Amino acid sequence: MTIFLVENLNSRVQKRALASDVAGAFGAKLRKLRRARDLSQEVLALKVGISRPAVATVEAGRQNIQLHHVYQFARALDLPPAELLPSPTEVSEFRRLSLTARRDRTLAIEEQILGDAKVLLRMQFERGLYGTTTDKAGN
């Protein structure tokens, strides 16, 4: 029973990760094709019948879209709907790049935290909070 639950959980997590990668790769491809046609998000949104923030959310890969939106985007960009869909290779490449970007952001944040900690420790040391001991009388 436990093995089934773990396998089922892993399967759900993998499906969610794949859906996220597909949405991200779709959004990246949509942005690339929109820019190649020199269209703004606002113009594309008007052609599709959605808001500009919705286009931005789709391009950022933060929203799964319905199938009819694929057709609307394709019509607005004057191309076949299949051309909008990312290939498995494009999805894999998007995943690789997003994992690299997340790792790089994490490393940058860790470096910033370490740098801030060093500054704080140096300030405390300079103020005499570390490195010296005194008795209760201040001697």
Residue with the larger pLDDT of the pair 83 and 122: 83
Whether 9 shows a pLDDT value over 80: the answer reads no
Residue 136 confidence class, pLDDT cut points 50, 70, 90: low
> Which one, of 58, 79, 78, lies nearest residue 69 by Cα?
58
Q: What's the whole-number mean pLDDT along residues 106-134?
A: 74
Coil, helix or strand for 61? coil
Whether 79 shows a pLDDT value over 80: the answer reads yes
Specify the pLDDT at position 5: 44
Sign of the Cα torsion 122, 128, 129, 133 reads positive
Specify the pLDDT at position 108: 73
Tokens 């405390």 — which residue?
124
Residue 100 confidence class, pLDDT cut points 50, 70, 90: confident
For the ranges 6-10, 63-67, 109-113, 120-124, the one whose mean pLDDT is highest: 63-67
What does the mean pLDDT of the chain come to?
Answer: 82
Specify the pLDDT at position 6: 43
